[in-house]
Chain A
Amino acid sequence: MAKPGFEQLVKENQEPLRRFLLNLCGGDSSLSDDIAQEAFLKAYLNFSSFKGDAKFSTWLFRIACNSFYDHLRKRQLPVEEMSRPGVIYSASSEQIHSPGLRNQELYLALSQLKIEEKTAILLFYMEDRTLKEISKITEMPENTVKSHLFRAKSKMSDYLKRIGYER
């Protein structure tokens, strides 16, 4: 792949990918940017293995997901621990509702979910991906994605009710 072509792909995909990883990493922007960079470099070096049967962004997100899971395995951190923004637990409910902490509210809500559920719900609602695309990104059958999504919605719904989220 020519470098100008790659530059264009970076321009088009860097924001959604970095946002997705940032949310997946519970707000750790330096970690999410490292993983995003790693994903782009892997995509650049292995572009010949991109078959073109899916969108480039789907392939890129799949590489990023795998890099994220590799990172968890290397650090041998329990997945729930990894995605938990510890600071948040000391914040009061008033603080959580203040505009400055709006994203902390999201990270806290996401920390209630398992990693597969979190991945599915972020891709579906935040990144507007279809079930088929999520299935390709996560390398899970569509029905499995549906069940993760269903459980994620149910847990989030319970959590948001509990904290009195009403806008």
Chain B
Amino acid sequence: MNDEQIKKFFGEHKESIEDRGFEARLLETVKYLPKPKRAGSFSLRDRIVAISAMTGVLLFVLFGGADALVSGIFTTLSAVTIKQLFSPEIIATALFLFVLLFGIGRAAYSD
């Protein structure tokens, strides 16, 4: 059976599909849908998140957040290295930090 015969077979079985209310049902459903997103437009939630993030970065830079962070890390490391590695404060802090990061990660993933 050649290509022409297969084409013929499909041609013979090509049926026209009656509307049977499909278009009306579809357009009726569209009436109740929210307006589609335009390209480059942001929702209110996106805007709030962006503004909060920018404010946070600005405050961090203005109030010397980077210096405070670096010195904080060094202080913590030196405290840990000077024999207080398994003190209850360090263990509790590490545990809470882990739980916090896990929670944030999970929330971000489920979003």
Contact = CB atoms under 8 A, between A and B. Distances in A.
Interface of A: 1, 3, 6-7, 10-11, 14-15, 18-19, 22, 33, 36-37, 40-41, 44-49, 102-103, 105-106, 109, 121, 125-126, 153, 156-157, 160-161, 165, 167
Given A10-B27, A14-B23, A125-B7, A102 B13 contact: yes
A130 to B, nearest CB: 15
Contacts of A1: 36
A45 B34 CA distance: 8
B70 interface: no
Which of B12, B36, B39 has most A Cβ within 10 Å?
Answer: B36
A102 B10 contact: no
Contacts of B39: 48-49
B26 A156 contact: no
Given A44-B36, A45-B36, A160-B1, A105 B22 contact: no
Contacts of A103: 13, 15
Interface of B: 1, 3, 5-17, 19, 22-23, 25-27, 29-30, 33-34, 36-41
29 contacts: A1-B36, A10-B23, A10-B26, A14-B19, A14-B26, A15-B16, A19-B16, A33-B22, A36-B22, A37-B26, A41-B26, A41-B33, A45-B33, A45-B37, A46-B36, A47-B36, A48-B36, A48-B40, A48-B41, A125-B7, A125-B11, A126-B13, A126-B14, A153-B3, A153-B6, A157-B1, A157-B6, A161-B1, A165-B1
